[in-house]
A and B are shown apart, each in its own frame.
Chain A
Amino acid sequence: MQSKAIAARRSAPSMRDIQWQNYVVYIFFAAVLVFFSVTIGDKGFLSVMNLFNIARTTAMITVIAVAMTFVISAGELDLSVGSTAALAALTCALVMQAGYPWPAAVIAALLAGMAVGSLNGFFVTVIGIPSFLVTLGMMQFIRGVDMRVTYTNPVSISNQTFNALFGSGNIGGVPSLLIWSVAIAILGHVVLKYTAFGRAVLATGGNRLAAEYSGIKTRRIKFAVFLMSGAAAALAGMLYSGMMQTARFNFGEGAELMAIAAVILGGTSLFGGKGTILGTFAGSLLIGTINNGLIIMGLDVSEQMMVAGGIIILAVAFGKKPAT
């Protein structure tokens, strides 16, 4: 009898079983696209140029948010990603300015990001401070470092290979920023969904003790997600600087909140244990599309902020499961 029930359930999931709340981010995304297509389709919203533009401006948030999905799924938070992005951008620019080849600069930038990630991981897993506090402090600290290294002066990047690869260029007509964000999202999706590491991350966030009793080294897992987050922030920083062909201390301000919003919009649980990269990708695009559409509609910045904030709250509210 029991095995019959199992078989029935697998072959024919009924409509009621499909929880539409899981798809709210896609539904909202579609709705927002349709809305803007109808209202401002003739003002260039639908042009290929503009769509690529959306992809370009959301790329950094997407890259950060993919790693943030791992961090949040493991039951932690990383607020330091925005300032880390700027740190990596500056590192990269300064190393190139000093005459080293661009690959060396890229490696230096990644190392800088991973250094911040390891510090976060160390304080969270070894010292045992809640990640909210550690990364809040780190966010301030690193932003201070960013301001100090160049006395808030921008550092321009003249290496055109770097600029083309990280941000400004096109590859086969497709903006490199779009390629980066799609590649990182696919990588994140595969790792979270199809590897033992991904499962271990979700189990650690879902119930740390149970994961430990099952043989998962949860400290290592938590350390690893902070390391990933630092590396992703560094990549995002290089994407900013490649796009602007310069590096500035204030890159990535507020990026941490945008990334967290994208992750939560996508259906990842803020309490850990449940996460999806596809949702995060859609969440990031949703935020980017709203911002883009509102600009084209001609709203001023204050109005844009109010509308975008309202839509985010609305989407999260719709995505909430009814209390059981």
Chain B
Amino acid sequence: MTDILSMSEIRKCFAQIPVLKRVNFTLRRGEIHALMGGNGAGKSTLMKILTGVYQRDGGTIRIDGQTAHYHDTLSAERAGVAMIFQEFSLVPTLTVAQNIFLGREPKYPGTPFINNTEMVRRSRALLRDLGVDIDPEQQVSGLSVGLMQIVEIAKALSKKARILVMDEPTSSLSETETGALFALVRRLRAQGLSVVYISHRMAEILTLCDRVTVMRDGETVMTADCSALSVQTIIGAMLGEGNSASFVWHDRGPAPQAEPILEVRSLRLAKRIDDVSFDIRPGEIVGLAGLMGSGRTEIAETIFGRRAALSGEIIFDGAPVRGQADAISRGIAMVPEDRRKMGLVLDHSVGDNIVLPNLARFTGLLFMRDQQARATVDRTIRDLSIKTDGPDKLARLLSGGNQQKIVIGKWLARDPRLLILDEPTIGVDIGAKSEIVETVRAMADRGTAVLVISSELEELMAISDRILVLHGGRIADQMNRRDVANEEELHHAIQGHSRPALRTIDA
């Protein structure tokens, strides 16, 4: 096998802080190559240099043995490199075909007019080759996230890409969509496409990829065949010798005897939720499991007061929740799913973002107490090891996983009485994941009730005292964590292979 790409001695600084220090990376023709590393290790930056988004400070890039000199994404595309960004680059108001050929629309020969028939025909052919049934004339806004991803891939392939970079493509895909994506990527590999695949999910890497390169603090520390690797070796390389991330469950003892702080009674919501009831006690961590689209986020948003229920009750601390302002003032906090849209003011600093939910706390008679706020910000950055040059750095400039840590850190200072976490560790590296789990556990030990929504079973298994399974619009099953032997058992429950009888919970 030959190398289609070799990047050597790549260097890059942002504001004089080195982010890539002489990185070497090679990609073979027709392989799927995993790029791994902790949050802020420099993976996205390296790939943005490959795709011409950023300019490198030093080093060489060779594609097919030819030194590549490019200064923008357009010339990178001409050299055969395409990237699928975490934040999609599709225009929601245009059709699938219009998106695929955006800026390169086929014209009637000799005229400036777009040949729409031809554009649709070619899109249809492309999508058929990818084995998906998407109508090229459909508007993109109506597609599911998984299908949008596939349109992105079609767009990349229509540009004759030979190297495809995918940055955490599965973080918002359902299990089925992920399966379909993997099948597609494998088929493309068979056709000779080379893929760089960035992900924090170990299981994915080991099933999908041929080789893996691990980065740490802006350097490549390991490249090896996946077949020869164990999860432990990869984690060891990511975190550095002597560090290990323990992502394991501790039995926190029997559930506290206190009265429930949250009671959800026969909740019915507009679309998917028919009849949901459950309780959470102070100090208890409850996991909410279910398929993508089963309505978990909707339930959370209703508890947080952002949605109205069709019927049913939400009682917090003895009284119904009346809207979001009421929820927040009574101590309910929610870490939303989409950090860029709902979690962060991206153009504000790390510090300002952390202070935001705590404005009242840091206000004296009239003015902000900046000293106090600063102290809290510094502590949050330290506690969650948020990788930033300082509290004044713009949130936009942090790596994805570190942005996610800010969204969680925002609430720590407030010590909420009920903390709702919706997919709290999307894009977070394994080391930080265990830090987040520890932090949540510590909050629960101080009496915070916690509701966790996660599509990663491993995470639910690590964090929950009790797991609720949402299926078909109701709580189909609930189990004490200590009674669940392994992930398979939970997996089955979620898929709806219901268990013999609804288990009763011993308090």
By the criterion CB–CB under 8 Å, are A206 and B345 in contact? Answer: yes
Asked whether, in the complex, the Cβ of B359 is within 8 Å of the Cβ of A199, the reply is yes
- Chain A positions within 8 Å of B368 at CB level: 194-196, 199
CB atoms of B347 and A206 under 8 A apart: yes
State the interface size on chain B (CB cutoff 8 A).
41
Closest CB-CB distance, A203 to chain B, in whole Å?
Answer: 5
Are B343 and A210 in contact, CB atoms less than 8 angstroms apart? yes
A215 neighbours in B (Cβ, 8 Å): 324-325, 328-329, 357
Chain A residues within an 8 Å CB radius of B15: 16-17
The 3 closest A-B pairs by CB, nearest first: A206-B345, A196-B359, A215-B328
Whose C-beta in chain B lies nearest to the C-beta of A206? B345
Determine which of A5, A190, A203, A207 lies in contact with B389 in the assembled complex, contact meaning CB atoms within 8 Å: A5
* Most chain B beta-carbon contacts within 10 A, residue among A16, A206, A207, A274: A207
Contact yes or no, A6 B360, CB < 8 A: no
A224 at the interface (CB under 8 A from B): no
- A107 on the B face (CB < 8 A): no
List chain B residues, Cβ under 8 A from A194. Answer: 367-368
Contact B334–A213 (Cβ < 8 Å)? yes
Partner of A196, one of B341, B353, B360, B410: B360
Knowing A206-B347, A214-B410, say if A5 contacts B356 (CB, 8 Å).
no
Does B444 reach chain A (CB closer than 8 Å)? no
Within 8 A of A (CB), among B284-343: 306, 324-325, 328-329, 334, 336, 341-343
CB-contacts of A190-213 with B (<8 A): 190, 194-196, 199-200, 202-203, 206-207, 209-213
Contact residues in B for A195 (Cβ distance below 8 Å) = 363, 366-368
Contacts of A202 in B (CB 8 A): 345, 348, 352
User: A47–B88 Cα gap in the complex (Å)?
Assistant: 59
| Contact among B16, B347, B359, B363 for A14, CB-based, below 8 A | B16
Q: A199 near B389 (CB under 8 angstroms)? A: no
User: Which residue of B342, B346, B390 contacts A9 across the interface (Cβ within 8 Å)?
Assistant: B390
Beyond A3-B382, A5-B17, 16 extra complex contacts between A and B, CB < 8 Å: A6-B388, A9-B389, A10-B390, A14-B16, A195-B363, A195-B366, A195-B367, A196-B360, A196-B363, A199-B352, A199-B368, A200-B359, A206-B345, A206-B346, A210-B341, A210-B345
Candidates B16, B324, B347, B360; contact of A273 at CB < 8 Å = B347
A-B contacts at CB below 8 angstroms, number:
88
17 contacts across the A-B interface (CB closer than 8 A): A6-B391, A9-B392, A17-B16, A196-B359, A202-B345, A202-B352, A203-B345, A206-B346, A209-B336, A209-B341, A209-B342, A210-B342, A210-B343, A214-B410, A215-B324, A215-B328, A274-B347
Of A3, A9, A200, A213, which contacts B343 at CB under 8 A? Answer: A213
B contacts, CB < 8 Å to A = 15-17, 306, 324-325, 328-329, 334, 336, 341-348, 352-353, 355-357, 359-360, 362-363, 366-368, 378, 381-382, 385, 387-392, 410
Report A-chain residues with C-beta under 8 Å of the C-beta of B356: 199, 203, 210-211, 214, 216
Chain A 66-99 interface 0/1 with B at a Cβ cutoff of 8 Å (1 = within): 0000000000000000000000000000000000
Which residues of A does B touch, CB under 8 Å? 2-3, 5-6, 9-10, 14, 16-17, 190, 194-196, 199-200, 202-203, 206-207, 209-217, 269, 273-274
The answer to whether B390 and A6 touch across the interface, beta carbons within 8 angstroms, is yes
Q: Determine the chain A residues whose CB is within 8 A of the CB of B388 once the complex forms.
A: 6
Measured between beta carbons, the chain A residues less than 8 angstroms from B344 are 207, 210
